[in-house]
Amino acid sequence: MSGPTPDTPKARQPIESKAQLIEELSSGSKPKDQWRIGTEHEKFPFLTDTLGPVPYEGQRSIRALLEGLRDRFGWTGVYEGDNIIALSDPDGLGNVSLEPGGQFELSGAPLKTVHDTCEEVHEHLSEVREIGDRLGIGFLGLGASPMWTRAETPVMPKGRYGIMAPYMDKVGKYGRDMMFRTCTVQVNLDFASEADMVKKLRVSLALQPIGTALFANSPFLEGKPNGFLSFRSEVWRDTDNQRSGMLPFAFEPGMGFERYVDYALDVPMYFVMRDGKYINCAGESFRSFLDGKLPQLPGEKPVVKDWADHLTTIFPEVRLKKYLEMRGTDSGPWWRLCALPALWVGLLYDQAALDAAWDMVKDWTAEERQKLRDDVPTQALNATIRGRSVRDMSRDVLAISRAGLLARNELGCKGKTEAAFLDVLDETVSTGKTAAENLLSLYHGSWNGDITRVFRDFAY
């Protein structure tokens, strides 16, 4: 989940009409030579001796991790009251933030190539390992916390979470699991125009379940198998359906920035920030706010920052802001973190690849897309659409992505193109076994049901 929007002069500009909201989204359009790649990934910190979660306070703590990274590597601390809650790069190149249960997230800088992204991933993991090793803290890349109960999971001191969690209890079964016990990897990508945004949004929504299956990596909960290959993906099917899902309206005639604004206006609010403090507006209407009728701030109209903050509280499988966020995949080991941006860059950043991907999905119905979405958390590569398995479909998707990456011809280490980052996904399709299924094989095999082995064998 995203943090609050930076408070800048532009962010404080008042919003008087819906047209300004539409313009704010459309202003993200940019020419192809300015398209960038922003990768975000989360991981679970854990105490290396007890394998317990890391508390916020104490000698071995989340606070100590953030302060250690700040002091050693030149990050700037971001505070809520007296609590350090995030880190920002002084040059504006990415940030480190906290998820509700202490999950550590890198929100990467906008970079030109997947090679650059992978270098960023490696540098970040090197930094957190250096500080973590001093504190006896390790990091685990899975889509869901494998051992800790909700009660055992610490709560980070961020005001928005105290508003979100109680509200989520009212609107879904898994809201607190989503907040406190899941981790994702996602990539943020640009668009050239409204038409380009719509096509990319439609392709990425339709194919998001394919990505979920390829990266399925959350088969455990509270020390045992949970019945899913991607429990993290299942969680989103019953968290808050007013602000999540497959956005069927995106495939209807007339889709564009205005249609997404209308959708976002009807998503219930969580909060408004004033003077650095969160005001609980859970369940209220942003449309009312736009009319100056928000009960918590009577007569006051929103500013740009309020709208930007509101957009961060909407959680569909693909989210539109001034760019598109691919949100459908589990976190995983370091070698898979670079595969996720490679997959989507190959599909969306080359016109021939985008056209081929659209040809693949353009006739799917809303019901077919939804059924695929519903089946993938348990079946992953074995789910089907129109008689074809996801495993079979993935071969085509990876071939299209690989062609797109080869056409970009961005060379990295040893003269390899970005397509090399897809090799790990080719292996998944070739074997027919997801990371989750490999973990289950170990659990039932050489681990002899000892879930603690995941911390030894799969920590960063």
Q: Tens of pLDDT along 306-352? A: 999 999 999 999 999 999 999 999 999 888 999 999 999 999 999 99
Closest CA to 220 of 442, 63, 459, 71: 442
Q: What's the pLDDT score for residue 93?
A: 80
pTM of the full structure: 0.96
344 inside domain:
yes
Residues in the chain, pLDDT under 50: 1-3
pLDDT at residue 276, rounded to an integer: 87
The answer to whether residue 303 is domain-embedded is no
Does some domain include residue 349? Answer: yes
| C-alpha span between 48 and 89 (Å, rounded) | 28
Amino acid at 449: G
Position 6 scores a pLDDT of 61
Per-residue pLDDT, 2: 47
The structure tokens 């973190």 sit at 337
DSSP 8-state class, residue 362: T
Phi, psi of 221 (to 5 degrees): -155, 130
Does 279 reside within a domain?
Answer: no
What does DSSP assign to residue 302?
P
> What is the count of structural domains for the chain?
1
- DSSP-based three-state secondary structure for 144: strand
The range of the structural domain enclosing residue 74 comes to: 31-267+314-458
Greatest pairwise CA separation for the chain in angstroms: 64
What residues pair up with 97 in beta bridges, in sequence order?
Answer: 86, 105
Q: Is residue 190 included in any domain, yes or no?
A: yes
Please report the pLDDT score of residue 8 as a whole number. Answer: 72
Helix (H) or strand (E) holding 41: strand 37-47
For residue 384, tell me if it sits in a domain: yes
Spatial neighbors of 38 by CB under 8 A, at least 6 apart, are 107, 108, 109, 110, 111, 187, 188, 189, 323
- Cα–Cα distance measured from residue 316 to residue 148, given in angstroms and rounded to the nearest whole number: 26
Q: What residues contact residue 203 under an 8 Å CB cut-off, 6+ apart? A: 347, 348, 354, 357, 358, 361
Q: What type of residue is 234?
A: E
The answer to whether the beta carbons of residues 332 and 143 sit under 8 Å apart is: yes
Around 251, how many Cα atoms within 13 Å sit in the side-chain half-sphere?
Answer: 19
Sign of CA dihedral 342, 315, 184, 367: negative
Query: d(Cα 119, Cα 29) in Å, to the nearest integer?
Result: 27
**Sign for the pseudo-dihedral over CA of 59, 61, 63, 67:** positive
6 occurs within a structural domain = no
Residues 6+ apart with CB under 8 A from 185: 39, 40, 41, 42, 215, 329, 330, 331, 332, 336, 337, 340
Report the CATH number at residue 251. Answer: 3.30.590.20
Report yes or no on 319 lying in a domain: yes
The pLDDT of residue 1: 44
